[in-house]
Chains A and B, each alone.
Chain A
Amino acid sequence: NAGVTQTPKFQVLKTGQSMTLQCAQDMNHNSMYWYRQDPGMGLRLIYYSASEGTTDKGEVPNGYNVSRLNKREFSLRLESAAPSQTSVYFCASRAGDASYEQYFGPGTRLTVT
């Protein structure tokens, strides 16, 4: 199984450009997450989706939007990229209430100039 996949792996944007980060999981998990990781900051939750059809804000949602397209896919959109959004973005999934383990994708390294 592929587990959690993310595209693209690397991206460079200019300030003001928009882009969508894609995430898909093939484990039939209910919950999906988007985190960002900055040096020395740990992972911070941007948005999460507890189940298909629902999304909720995390700790740092400003400047981002998400779409839970179906049970497999959860995308993160930057409408107008800013240098402060330079980071590594990780998508994760979790089976559901009875299982707390999160499975992470390999990450997207985004640089905004």
Chain B
Amino acid sequence: RKEVEQDPGPFNVPEGATVAFNCTYSNSASQSFFWYRQDCRKEPKLLMSVYSSGNEDGRFTAQLNRASQYISLLIRDSKLSDSATYLCVPGDNFNKFYFGSGTKLNVKP
């Protein structure tokens, strides 16, 4: 069983749309949770951390459900520049992080 499962997509949405991604993780001992963004042929960059209480950063909202072991990312008012692959990353408390294979988002004009 994979550590992290994500729908690979692609999600094709028009500008201004709201889109949501989910991710499930298998390790119940995971302590930290993140969403990274990766543009084509580039390195991943941290988008946001995910806290138990949920957190928001501008148009982005992340939620964590520990009981069901899933993490979500909601993007409101999508921009063309949001087109990228979004990686779900749970981490344990031993310095290891497990990257999902990513969900590809295409925002169309």
Contact = CB atoms under 8 A, between A and B. Distances in A.
Contacts of A48: 95-96
Contacts of B4: 42
Contact of A106 (B42, B46, B87, B97): B42
Given A100-B34, A100-B49, A105-B43, A42 B97 contact: no
Contacts of A106: 42-43
B46 A102 contact: yes
Interface in A1-47: 31, 33, 35, 40-45
A90 B101 contact: no
Contact of A104 (B8, B43, B95, B101): B43
Contact of B95 (A50, A90, A107): A50
From A42, A44, A102, name the one whose CB has the most chain B CB atoms within 10 angstroms: A42
Nearest to B85: A42
A44 B98 CA distance: 7
Interface string A51-77: 000001010000000000000000000
Contacts of B97: 33, 45, 100, 102
B24 to A, nearest CB: 14
B43 A42 contact: no
Contact of B43 (A44, A100, A107): A107
Q: Which 8 A-B pairs have the closest CB atoms?
A: A42-B101, A104-B43, A43-B99, A42-B99, A101-B46, A50-B95, A100-B32, A42-B100
Interface string B68-94: 000000000000000000010001000
B14 interface: no
25 contacts: A31-B95, A33-B97, A42-B4, A42-B87, A43-B44, A43-B99, A44-B99, A45-B98, A56-B95, A90-B43, A100-B32, A100-B34, A100-B49, A100-B91, A101-B34, A101-B49, A102-B44, A102-B46, A102-B97, A104-B43, A104-B45, A105-B43, A106-B43, A107-B42, A107-B43
